Amino acid sequence: MEIKQVKINHMNNPIGFELNDLLINCTVQADQYPEDLQKKLTITNNEKNVFETDWQQAGNLDFKPIFKLQSKTRYDIKIELKSNQQIVSQTAFFETGLMNGFKKSNWVGTNDASVHGLDLIKQFNLPKEVNQGRLYISGLGVYEVYIDDIKVGDEYLAPGFTNYNYYVQIATHDITKYLQTPGIHTIRIRLGDGWYRGKLGIKEHGGKANQYGNALMANAEIDYVDNAGVPHTIGTDDSWQAQTSPITHSGIYYGEDFDETISAKNLNIKTFEQPTKHLKDRLSLPIKEHETFEVQKKIITPSNGVVLDFGQNLAGWVTFQNTLPKGTKVELEYGEILQNGELYRGNLRSARATFTYVSNGQAHIVKPHFTYFGFRYVKLIGFPNDIDLNDFQAKALYSDMDAIGNIESDNKLVNQLFSNIQWGQRSNFMDVPTDCPQRDERLGWTGDAAVFAKTASYNMDTYQFNRKFAYDIAVEQSINDGEVPLYVPAVDGDDGGKAVWSDVATILPWTSYTRTKDTSILRQNFGAMMSWVDWVHDYAKQTRNEFLWLDADQLGDWLALDTEDIMHLKGKTPDELIASAYYYQSAQIVANSAAVLNAKREHEYYQLLADKIKEAFIGEFFTASGRLITDTQTALSLCLQLKLYPQGDQEVLTNKLVERIEKDRNHLTTGFVGTPALLPALSQNNQNELAVQMFLNEDYPSWLYQVRLGATTIWERWDSVKPDGEINDNGMNSLNHYSTGAVMQWAYEYLLGIQQDTEQLTIKPAISPKFRTMEGHTQLVTGQVRVAWKIKDQTGTAVHLSLDLPYDQPAIVELPRTNDWIANGVQHQNGDQLSAGHYEIDYQPLVPFVNNFDVHTALVKFINNQTITKKLDQLVPFWGFLNLPGNMEHFQDYSILQLSQEMKGIGFSPLTTEQIKQINQMFMDYETEKNNKG
């Protein structure tokens, strides 16, 4: 057995973070895990024990040490695991920050509003080599620090995006390696406008400047300890020098102007009162450079321009090796797509999204500093014709989260879709979960975060990222009496209190808890979670029913295709149905959270509220006979997923959803709300093959439509690009949104079958003959769970499953089309529980897995097959009508089941359940016989 990783509050060796509710755990890996495993934790400071456990039974691999943390202190950790007197161990560390804010420094800067780039400089003398150096720093807007012209650390866009009026984060940097040489050293804090001062928001053209302030400033303390153990401190004060920066202008939307030929001008330095209510040790994960992309193609445009294609849409920037003569000015314009051979930037709206550079003539790597771009293509302006493509690289920029999950299948288009979803996540997890990385927006839209939260947590370790964003949400709620804005931080208005979007206040903490079993995020946010539900309840009390969310302005099923909205922005599912459903869900989440936290009174109250909402929902949105008042895909899926229907009506509602999908030619019509619910509603109600068929559609509208058109990220709209490659020019069209990528949650939970709730792990793969192989993994609390299945032969009569269950994660295993199976040579009944370990599972399905047609398949797929059509002539009452001249051509895009509903108008009764079974069995027999012959 091997200890793979030790984490402190879900982070790797964190320095300077706020470390409330300390949690230390590890992950392990082995083929089989011992039952008598014991664990031990030791925490030391300067080799002195500050906390130590006895050997204890390892029911899990978590430790929650309770002792008083000291500021600016490193703690070394050792975890030991023992079985049969054999011990394995692993070490890690964490280090506290200031904990109570700056003590020996001031906020310094300039109040000259004309300055958009500022350097704060201090020379200091080190009399001898030091043992340890630490820099504690914050800045407004964004900053980078240099010691002797060498950048400190590898993060960018610090201190991150917060409501700076409420709190500002302090980072801690280990600068020991920069202080090894005695003598004079120079520290330079370089500042740009960033989110603090640059144009931001969407309510004014191109955003509004100075959302949080109009002066660039910073606060820093340098602590170092010499060889004699004597501490020394240098703080920011009016003895520092202020100068203009070679970065003359920068902005999140604007881009950056970087001129290395201009001479710095001295500025008057000013000290400031603390510009925020709270100074906190950091919550934000650092934003770092990650993947590097080389130029895939150099394109000469019809206008004789030069465009570089990096092959992947991403968020970040392009770096290049400077070979330009001194004084040469160049520009890099960023964009996501080509149109008519030229770089298209119309969907950026007012975002300038350009990097300009004036060369100092020296060879070095040039990159932006205080901005980022959403792009695949970059247009070069002012460069010589004979550029070396090897000098240019694209760097992906996003918050530093571990990648923990992935899925691969035998379908290349599906694999590309999963890659697109993950790149949409990377591109938009930039300290806050933005909606897009390219245009004049890039705000922390709450709805996107809510619907994608589970998918995000399967792909990457999002716990600390979510913890920071949940805190940001709670900050805005504290200002608005519990109401949650549409985007957080709420930079330019008070628009909020809308279903789905604002429900992020409950969804995000609950998702993080269910994925990690760490209750600290619930404790941190329980008050905010309650205050959101209370806000809705207080609003509802002013309407005709306090248990429904009525008479409110909502965004509804945003960008759904069944729209009747005059602006074509939201679907026809009633806003009040969606809002009331999410009202119920949030109330239930709060009740469940209260139970986890053992808050009995709150649990009883919110459970009663949730029950009342469900009762009122059924009374309002279902007729006396049990019919839902609307038949949209979104409404039906949402009710099925949340179990909001009269008792016993699950099958009726499922059949209505299938009927609705058939009317829509087996294609989705859902938007923001319905898309994440659609396929799970089908798969969990015995309609997995229909779900897979819809998932695998390649024509519009579908997930794979965009893949076939060359997408490398997820689009904002189902038709962001038309079939001819022309972009949909409608003023709101990002090619790097991620919300509809929430379908990957369905893939983890159904195609792979990893179903994790608060109490039990179940492995229940929805094996489909439309795939031959499926493999994937994600991280659980103690290690990785991996599932790989394959249909071993063309006849679909042999299935193999490879399964890895991490320590302390037994799982109930339920496999389709069988009553029993063999795992590692041992016979098991379906539904048996397997303990942690590695398993090879084989079984023969009762019904073969063949890539068969069924009643949902469009006629065009098989109408030229005489064997099938002869049998359908005997099984389908209206088949003769279809064979009348011109009919088959007219109806070929419809399925048998859809036509069954439509033929009522000309005297045919809809197919019965028994007839449907006979037709599906015929298709199955045909495929089996064909494969046997083959």
Q: How far apart are CA 527 and CA 516, in angstroms?
A: 20
Q: How far apart are CA 900 and CA 894, in angstroms?
A: 10
564: pLDDT confidence band, cut at 50, 70 and 90? confident
- Would the pTM of this model clear 0.85, i.e. be above it? yes
- Does the pLDDT value for residue 544 go beyond 90? yes
- 36-60 pLDDT, tens digit each: 999 999 999 999 999 999 999 998 9
Q: How far apart are CA 116 and CA 128, in angstroms?
A: 37
| Sequence-ordered alpha helix ranges (H) in 237-322 | none
- Does the pLDDT value for residue 931 go beyond 80? no
Other Cβ atoms closer than 10 A to 840:
12
227: pLDDT confidence band, cut at 50, 70 and 90? confident
pLDDT at 640: 98
Share of the chain above pLDDT 90, in %: 91
pLDDT at 566: 83
DSSP 847-866: S-------TTSBGGGTTT-H
Chain-centroid distance, C-alpha 279 = 28
- Does the pLDDT value for residue 220 go beyond 70? yes
Report the candidate in 447, 419, 422 with the shortest Cα–Cα distance to residue 433.
447
Other Cβ atoms closer than 10 A to 365:
10
- 413-440 pLDDT, tens digit each: 999 999 999 999 999 999 999 999 999 9
- 587-606 pLDDT, tens digit each: 999 999 999 999 999 999 99
- 300-314 pLDDT, tens digit each: 999 999 999 999 999
Q: How far apart are CA 699 and CA 218, in angstroms?
A: 53
Helix, strand or coil, per DSSP, at residue 610: helix
Sheet holding 833-834, edge to edge: 754-756, 761-763, 811-813, 833-834
pLDDT at 551: 95
If you average pLDDT over residues 553-573, what whole number do you get? 93
Q: How far apart are CA 933 and CA 590, in angstroms?
A: 58
- 77-120 pLDDT, tens digit each: 999 999 988 999 999 999 999 999 998 999 999 989 999 999 99
152: pLDDT confidence band, cut at 50, 70 and 90? very high
- Does the pLDDT value for residue 493 go beyond 80? no
- Does the pLDDT value for residue 33 go beyond 70? yes
605-606-612 Cα angle (round to 5): 95
- Does the pLDDT value for residue 906 go beyond 90? no
Torsion angle of alpha carbons 311, 724, 337, 397, nearest 10°?
A: -60
Q: How far apart are CA 601 and CA 530, in angstroms?
A: 13
pLDDT at 934: 61
User: Per mean pLDDT, which range of 242-251, 448-457, 726-735 is the poorest?
Assistant: 726-735
Q: How far apart are CA 506 and CA 482, in angstroms?
A: 12
If you average pLDDT over residues 871-890, what whole number do you get? 93
- 819-838 pLDDT, tens digit each: 999 999 999 999 999 999 99
If you average pLDDT over residues 725-743, what whole number do you get? 93
Q: What is the mean pLDDT of the chain?
A: 96
If you average pLDDT over residues 1-6, what whole number do you get? 93
pLDDT at 449: 98
